Structure 1
Amino acid sequence: MNNVSNRKCSRKKMMWVIAIIGVVVAVTAIFISFQVIRNNTENKIVATVNGDPVYVEEFRERLLMQKVPVQQFFREKYGIQAGDGFWESYFEGENPLKTAKEMALNECVQIKVEQQLGRDKGLVEDISYPAFLKQLEKENKRRKKAVENNEIIYGPVEYQKNVYYEYLYSNMKIALKELLEGKEIQFTEEDLMSYYEQIKDSLYRKEGEVKILKAYVTYTDENRNFSEENRKAALEKIRQVKLKMDQGENIKNISDSSPKGESLKVNFVEQVFNEKTAKHDQQSALELKTRARRLSVGEISDIIEENNTFYVIKCLEREADGYKSFEEVRENVKSKFIDEKYNEMVEGLVKAAKVEIVGSVYDRINMQ
């Protein structure tokens, strides 16, 4: 009797094992099928630009880059926070996914016409995305082998796909601009000087030097310990100093009435703000510099609090603001001039480009 029962149990266990194996096989088959479908989809062409293909994977990289900007756009315009169903929803007739895909396609078209220009100039032979992937694989193998051989490499041991793509794209644009200079992009010295006049207000303003006398009291001790009592005492001291300065009392005659040995000492120091000190000022004396630049010669500021210190400042001297000379910034002007002309050229190529979208592929692409 027991033997019969044991046989039945064994059969049941075997059936369960077979069922589990069947489920695993089915799931694996589905996963493999999904991967095959996805790979086939990634290898498909979503559009052509002057006959050159834009692959789904290539397009998807640009699409994912639009995710944050599009979310921000809809948040600012409609007060919408991205959540479930966001990309499929419509807000006053606007659809986030459609917007993102249009932006991604525009970028793909621009990049492709630049790559075509680079190919025409002999900078690159094959501008297809599969060729890029082969180049990426080759470069990463080279880097890995170099590291194994203790050779010096610059940059990462292994490039991520998007990083390497941008690296090649940026370098190609730099090389293109160098090739176009003096040919498709021509200019004279007068052109550069005229361009300098157009952009100097926004890019080349030069702040005049300002010299101040500052009276200050720091209310933390040598270990940077803070107490509200010290802060109140320091504030009262600087108020007395400001009162005397406002009354026209000579700075040299304003003495510190603190008892000997008291830590809250009033200090008087001259300070200059100019081009040479600008970086330091930005980091450690921004509020002081801002206030100083508002003062006319002889004018005294209100009390300023910055970095655990109270200040009163008086403007001693100041130069008028001006501009960096053309000679100082000529190379920068030239670079920006070439950038602008290059962008105009690319815009023209984009407008003239023949773009054909493969609707059956384009329409199926989502943000997943």
Structure 2
Amino acid sequence: MKKKITFFMICIVLLILVSGSFLFFKNNSSLKLEISSVKIHDDEYINAMNSKKYDVTQYFIEKYGAKITNEFWEKDFNGEYPYKVLADKTLEELLRIHSIYEIAKEEGYVDSVEYKDFIIRFDDENKKREESRKKGETIYGLSKFTEALFLEYETDKLQKSYCNDLNNEGMKISSDDGRRYYDENKDTLFIKNDDFELSFVKVYYESLGLNEEEVKDIKSHMVEVSKKVDDINSLLYLASKDEKLKDYLSHETILSAELSAKAKVMGDVLDIAIELEKGEITQVLDQNGCLYLIQCINRVSYDYIPYEEVKDNINKVLRENLYDEIVEERARNLAISNDIDNIYKFTKKNIK
């Protein structure tokens, strides 16, 4: 009996020692970094680091023509080391993220800026979506987040919460500020697209696998038809009567509001037609394995979209811009405690 008690006590002691060792190593991270007295968790740093890898590789590719090999991160490029640049960019990203969460905490949108609490919210959101999925309920967005996507989702939500509250700093946009933005950007952002009515013959001979003689024959018919187009005989009428061309003939009316959507399916035609005035017709064009003959039947030209129609969108953009400035200002003023050599060492060790 005594031996059993002794053995039992030894097991307890060993368990305590093992648990204590685990906690010691868990709580004594090799990354000694704090932002405004908030400890940065290893995983938090590594996630931010991974989000900046692409930007850093592109920088060295564009500036030095670097090749991304196993030796890339520790290679010396005129005194610049990729792993050190990555560490610097990671710190900037962490400052940005913590600025967002500090502002959100002050406004009552989150209770904590700690990474461990972020993970709790992340897990809770995924559990909630999984339960909704099992119940057959509608799920808006992703059915399950990765940690990186949840960070993007939550920070976007925090931005919207801040910007939608006009009592928050910088969120009341004056009509003068709105008008000024409109006037400065109307030539690029607020020109209203024209309405178009087009007829066109389009023969994508490369895709159709037509031989040289077939292409030459169709092109000849297109040239002959183009010569006959006048005020009485339109391309639509003439091509519809031509046995070689009628199967390649289209007629489209594109209203101003539809232009962007239409450009996704017939952008090549619109790129050509944009220069045509009412009644004008192109020559027969041979571009990228395709023959084109396009006539603008009608075109309604517009000026700028009125300010009143875009005022709400302008105010939204200005609020978001001001929010970004507030976040940047906060990031510049956050206290950061770190040993940069240790950060570089940690970054080098954890690059995969």
Deviates more, 1:315-324 or 1:84-93: 315-324
Give the one of 328, 345, 353 matched to 2:326.
345
Amino acid of the structure 2 residue aligned with 1:227: L
Match in the other structure for 1:58? 44
Q: Would the alpha carbon gap of residues 183 and 119 (structure 1) be closer, same or farther in structure 2, given more than 3 Å must change?
A: closer
1:42–1:56 Cα contact (<8 Å) kept: no
> 148, 158, 171: which one pairs with 1:172?
158
Change (3 A) 1:276 1:125: closer
Q: Quickly say closer, same or farther: Cα 1:307–1:250, change in 2 above 3 A.
A: farther
CA distance in 1, matches of 2:197, 2:130: 57
Structure 1: how far apart are the matches of 2:65 and 2:147? 34
* Map of 2:5 onto structure 1: none
Q: Percent identity?
A: 21
5+ residue gaps, structure 1: 1-31
Mapped to 2, the partners of 1:289 and 1:47 lie a distance apart of 55
Tell whether the 8 Å contact from 1:303 to 1:312 is kept in structure 2 after alignment. yes
Distance 1:106 1:129 in 2: 17
> How far apart are residue 136 of structure 1 and its match?
3.0
**Is 2:285 aligned against 1:304?**
yes
* Corresponding position of 1:97: 83
Q: Residue 66 of structure 1 contacts residue 104 of structure 1 at CA under 8 Å; is this kept in 2? A: yes
RMSD across aligned positions (CA): 3.6
One-letter amino acid of the counterpart of residue 92, structure 2: N
Q: TM-score, normalised by structure 1?
A: 0.74
The answer on 1:244 being equivalent to 2:228 is: yes
Q: Tell me which of 58, 62, 80 is aligned to 1:72.
A: 58
- SS of 2:67's partner is coil
When Rg is computed on C-alpha atoms for both structures, the one with the higher figure is 1
Partner of 1:184: 169
Q: CA deviation at 1:159?
A: 3.4
Taking the TM superposition and a 5 Å limit, the aligned residue runs for 1:116-131 are 116-131=102-117
CA contact (8 A) 1:217 1:266 kept: no
Pick from 175, 179, 202 the counterpart of residue 193 of structure 1.
Answer: 179
Q: Relative contact order (alpha carbons < 8 A, sep ≥ 6): 1 or 2 greater?
A: 2
1:308-323 residue pairs with structure 2 within 5 A? 310-323=291-304
Contact 1:215 1:266 in 2 (8 A): no
Secondary structure of 1:301 counterpart: coil
Aligned to 1:235: 219
- TM-score, length basis structure 2: 0.77
Offset at residue 83 of structure 1 (A): 0.3
Residue in structure 1 matched with residue 11 of structure 2 by the alignment: none
- In the aligned structure 2, how far is the partner of 1:327 from the partner of 1:347? 31
Please give the alpha-carbon distance, in whole angstroms, between the structure 2 residues aligned to 1:153 and 1:209: 38
- Pairs aligned (count): 325
Shift of 1:344: 1.6
| Residue aligning to 2:137 | 152
Contact 2:195–2:299 (CA<8 Å) still a contact in 1? yes
User: Following the alignment from structure 1 to structure 2, what is the Cα–Cα distance between the partners of residues 147 and 167?
Assistant: 19
- More displaced stretch, 277-286 vs 53-62: 277-286
Q: 1:182 to 1:192 in 2, by over 3 A?
A: farther
Q: Give 1:58 deviation, angstroms.
A: 0.9
> Displacement of 1:287 after TM fit?
2.1
Superposed counterparts of 1:40-51, under 5 Å: 40=26, 43=29, 46-51=32-37
Residue pair 2:84, 2:344 contacting (<8 A) in 1 also? no
